[in-house]
Structure 1
Amino acid sequence: MLTLIVIALFIRDSFIRPFLGDVLVVIWLYLLLVACLSCSKKSIAIFVLAFACSLEALQYFQFINLLGLQDHQAARIIIGATFDWLDLVAYALGIGFIGVFERLLNKG
């Protein structure tokens, strides 16, 4: 979580913050939910991907502006303010990484 906060607050580049940060956030959310819930890991992975994609869709429709939170930095970081198709790719890669990791972990 600390890594995500540092990336969100201090990294201003064209790869780590906008892309790698999105890959890491779905991994972090997945791990958090696996630790807290007794659902299947596959269900949690599907939920996390759907949740992340839903937030991206809300960004497309400028949801943060509809809430009147466009000037609040914390809301802009958590909800996001800018739609990007590459974010959807990042979310899919993060969930894909989880799938590969879980398969490797279960084989050993």
Structure 2
Amino acid sequence: MKLNKSYAILTLLLFIIEVFIGMYMHDDLIRPFGGDLLVVILIYCFVKCLIDIPWPVAAIGTLIFSYIVEISQHFTLLKHLGLQNSKLAAILLGQSFSWGDMLCYTAGIFIVIIAELFYNKAKNNLSKANII
């Protein structure tokens, strides 16, 4: 397994931003929605920095994973596992289902898709320019 340094740097940067949002943002917009939008991008970058898989597979997998975590909140998974008093489990898995969170996860993956399409197009254009 070879670490992808670009995705590793993005993962670290997004993690720092998420921690900053969690510690210092106490508003009604950035903390609840911005954090959820960024967390799927963070998970995507983390997966891509560790595993060399096609970006569409990583993006869809990340979105499905995020949906499963959110749906587990609807069914109070933490309570069923006896972890309802665990602060770490509550932070990692969340405690309350929200359709708004699902929308934020979808928007975050949409941003990933747009970024990957632009990046791959630019990379292809550069490689074509070097060939001619």
Normalising by the residue count of structure 2, what TM-score does the alignment of the two structures yield? 0.77
Partners in 2 of 1:63 and 1:9 — Cα distance?
25
Identical pairs, percent: 33
Does structure 2 retain, via aligned residues, the 8 Å contact 1:64–1:81?
Answer: yes
1:14-36 superposed Cα distances (whole Å, 9 cap, x missing partner): 21121110110000110111111
Q: Structure 1: where are the runs of 5+ without partners?
A: none
Structure number with larger C-alpha Rg: 2
Q: Which runs of 4+ in 1 moved over 6 A?
A: none
Instruction: Give the secondary structure class of the aligned counterpart of 1:94.
Output: helix
Does structure 2 retain, via aligned residues, the 8 Å contact 1:59–1:81?
Answer: yes
Equivalent pairs, count: 108
1:2-57 superposed Cα distances (whole Å, 9 cap, x missing partner): 22123234432221121110110000110111111011110000000000000000
Partners in 2 of 1:10 and 1:24 — Cα distance?
16
Report whether the alignment pairs 1:99 with 2:113. Answer: yes
Match of 1:58 in 2: 72
For the aligned residue pairs, the C-alpha RMSD in angstroms reads 1.1
Normalising by the residue count of structure 1, what TM-score does the alignment of the two structures yield? 0.93
Match of 1:17 in 2: 31
Q: Structure 2: where are the runs of 5+ without partners?
A: 1-14, 123-132
- With a CA cutoff of 8 Å and minimum separation of 6, indicate the structure with the bigger relative contact order: 1
Judged with a 3 Å threshold, the aligned counterparts in structure 2 of structure 1 residues 31 and 60 are, in CA distance, closer, same or farther, namely same
Does structure 2 retain, via aligned residues, the 8 Å contact 1:8–1:77?
Answer: no
